[in-house]
Structure 1
């Protein structure tokens, strides 16, 4: 039996041990995991230092380096995320009545764990803590296959959490880190359909496509974040500028950062000069349509087919549209089903936008940066699903469960 098959089989066996734990037991363990991350911060930082050094030598771009970097504040944030997960209601075991049939049998549904979740991700060591906590609370074992960029960091984080599992006589395989980032092993991993129930890839477009095309296991895609802000003709300009700056510049290397700005032609002359000045102050590179170019200093003019890029940096694409229908059409063509924002004081326009835009999160007068599990009240998130399976959008505890039917009778037989 290969190393990968053994690892997957052990995770499947370990998942069975979580089912019998009470919610209180799981919460105690999670709080101890959070404390262990804090007490082990120097070990984790040293591991991250190795990853950062190697990443710089390999020439990783600034966005990837930002995702990879850990400091005491980010480790504390991971610990706080675990504590939030511990405080959330446990979805496992929740039941809901469906119906009582004419023959008297009673039908209900119960939430159950998925089983074994396999996370495949790149330079995101925080995923290790988030996924470990969410999967454990929702009754799942998790296999974590991070990229080589974050391997030392991920092993240190998982090691701290495994120490707590071991102290409670639980198998360390509940949270497993694949120790070798070789792509051939990843290919073997995503074919372990006997032991793994779902694959969740997080990373660049190439990684998502590779996993989707090669997996024998159902894949929940965390696709790229080409997020837009549409400034409607009835927008409050001050709100629009604030939403633009926060969405684009507060943190650039994340999937909920703005990559596109759409502006109604009737407000362009008032809004775009202010937007231009604000973006210039933040050194944001501008790519624009021909109509919007006049409002910016030496922008790169894009053809109609050249929109839709995920820049993950201080760069944005700007387009003037004739109306809200033009904005919706642009998003249909170039969006990535992640997060879209409208700024408007016109309620019918906001309702139309939320109804018609095809994205997992559609916002009115709120920053795209709120498209995040913790910000939406889910605690930590395991990813943002951009494919419409059982989950769509930020995935918290409930998204890591399924429902099974419960049928209760009194000896009824089918005629």
Structure 2
């Protein structure tokens, strides 16, 4: 478990944006012998082969072909997660110059908790698209990798009622301070300079970018017994890493797949989101004949892994008293009668049986009946491809904050169950 959590923190450090998360997953898959495929090419898949594709550089699907039987007889053991997290994105024309301060305008991505973004050491990372000096178009990942921006709070002396509640105006409160100068900033020139620092020299013109702010504080273990992990983007890179770890460890000969989509935090409706066709396109290429594909899906199951709300000791009344998950007490089955989660009694029973075989405790979450329930990629993917689905998650605090908290036991426990799931010969039914 100690090694697992150290690798988790290494992954979180590298995965500062969805693009960086996928790049790190690609690196790990390639090191384990997975073969990268391109959607524009013809595929030749071998029994027992291990493959991956990425789309837009921010969504990825990796899978293992069964060794001794066809996919229609094996089925697929699938795990789904998402690569994106709520954050602040740099606007396309971000330059602001006010009172001698260089600032950038930002846009809120997803349902972010905004207060924790103030007074943090922030940096910028993402993808840059540019024209090369030879006229070709290219792209590269960029990371300033140092504290370079901040959103300063207003002093309490100038807002005496701030501790009694203050709404944050995303347009006027959130522009970040980069520094001071006597003239306005040319942001694209700054990006070109940083690309040169990173060894990308043949840039004639930066054409566009997709950049996010991130907190530079490194992931850490804390607590009297180091029982908690603190990091940015635990929702949902924690699940991406758990699925990655389980797939790399589980070369069992069965059909196994991991899908990590972008854009979950904004509804999943995109070419690379769970409500888009990416997974369907892969399944159609694995088994082009519709009847064979349906037989495969009837033998398959998807586990949607996305973090759950742990019982906060200061706000325990926000949970149903019989369904309040505790940190370090096991992964959480998420249930909702209105199908905001895709769990059924059948898929829940399968997971409980797998967990029991690993001696892993299981918890259950049901939202209070007088509160609205969130959702995941589970119901979306289940509806798109028609597969049995379970929603599971590691309990955490401070979901959608700039820095989140989970238990070190829970991630390791879920990885062990998913390893067994990937190797399970049959999935009931």
Give the TM-score taking structure 2 as reference length: 0.25
Query: Using CA pairs below 8 Å that are at least 6 residues apart, which structure has the higher relative contact order?
Result: 2
Give the TM-score taking structure 1 as reference length: 0.26
Which has a greater percent of strand?
Answer: 2
Which has a greater percent of helix?
Answer: 1
